[in-house]
């Protein structure tokens, strides 16, 4: 499939180069943050976390929306959605990866994420965030890749995928729940103006 990404019109390549420039600009700003510290973000007690956690919340919602594409095919046996589950799973994979990248950027120093692995703290929301995001990424990678291979071979996905799909539906709720716990830990402050909580 990578060969299709390497063919395109000059307009396509212009878009790719433009996106690579935006990525390079973001990497440059992140390198600046790594050298100077989180002080460059101007985040404070009043403007809690700000942009990074707002983006995490957005991508958690996009990642969990893959469930909405999976439901018609696996629960209602609507076969026309077979191609959509592949799109949904890979959209969830990219969104969860973005979620994890925003957490790493928010930590300030990437080596700090090793503390979550080497010194697990079950009373830390960040610990549970790592568990649910990595678990959801793992589930979607297996389901998405298996569904893609089945589609390429013009056959139905194997039966062992179905329990994983049901587990991923439940797991989608868990990533929203941990995000709600993140917001629950924030005290009410100005600029935050509302309680963004899961039902």
DSSP, residue by residue, 65-92 = THHHHHHHHHTS--GGGHHHHHHHHHHH
Q: What is each CA distance from 62 to 59, 92, 129, 147, 161, in whole angstroms?
A: 5, 7, 16, 20, 22
pLDDT of the residue at 107: 77
Q: Is it the case that residue 85 has pLDDT exceeding 90?
A: no
Q: And the tokens for 171? A: 């797991």
| pTM > 0.85 | no
Strand extents, DSSP E, the chain: none
Q: Which residue has the higher pLDDT, 47 or 171?
A: 171
pLDDT of the residue at 19: 95
pLDDT of the residue at 42: 75
Q: Is it the case that residue 142 has pLDDT exceeding 60?
A: yes
pLDDT of the residue at 188: 58
pLDDT of the residue at 44: 65
Query: What is the rounded average pLDDT for all residues in the chain?
Result: 82
Distance CA 116, CA 123 (A): 12
């Amino acid at each position: 499939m990578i060969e299709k990404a390497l063919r395109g019109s000059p307009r396509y390549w212009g878009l790719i180069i433009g996106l690579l420039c935006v990525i390079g600009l973001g990497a440059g700003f992140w390198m600046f943050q790594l050298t100077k510290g989180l002080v460059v973000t101007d985040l404070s007690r009043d403007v809690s976390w700000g942009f990074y956690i707002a983006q995490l919340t957005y991508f958690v919602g996009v990642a969990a929306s893959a469930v909405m594409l999976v439901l018609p095919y696996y629960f209602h046996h609507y076969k026309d959605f077979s191609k959509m589950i592949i799109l949904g799973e890979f959209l969830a994979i990219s969104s969860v990866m973005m979620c994890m990248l925003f957490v790493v950027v928010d930590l300030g120093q990437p080596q700090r994420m090793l503390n979550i692995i080497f010194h697990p703290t079950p009373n830390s929301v960040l610990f549970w965030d790592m568990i649910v995001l990595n678990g959801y990424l793992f589930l979607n990678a297996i389901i998405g890749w298996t569904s893609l291979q089945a589609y390429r071979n013009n056959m139905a996905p194997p039966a062992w995928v179905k329990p994983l799909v049901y587990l991923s539906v439940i797991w989608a709720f868990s990533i929203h729940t941990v995000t709600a716990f993140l917001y629950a830990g924030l005290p009410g402050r100005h600029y935050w103006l509302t309680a963004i909580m899961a039902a």
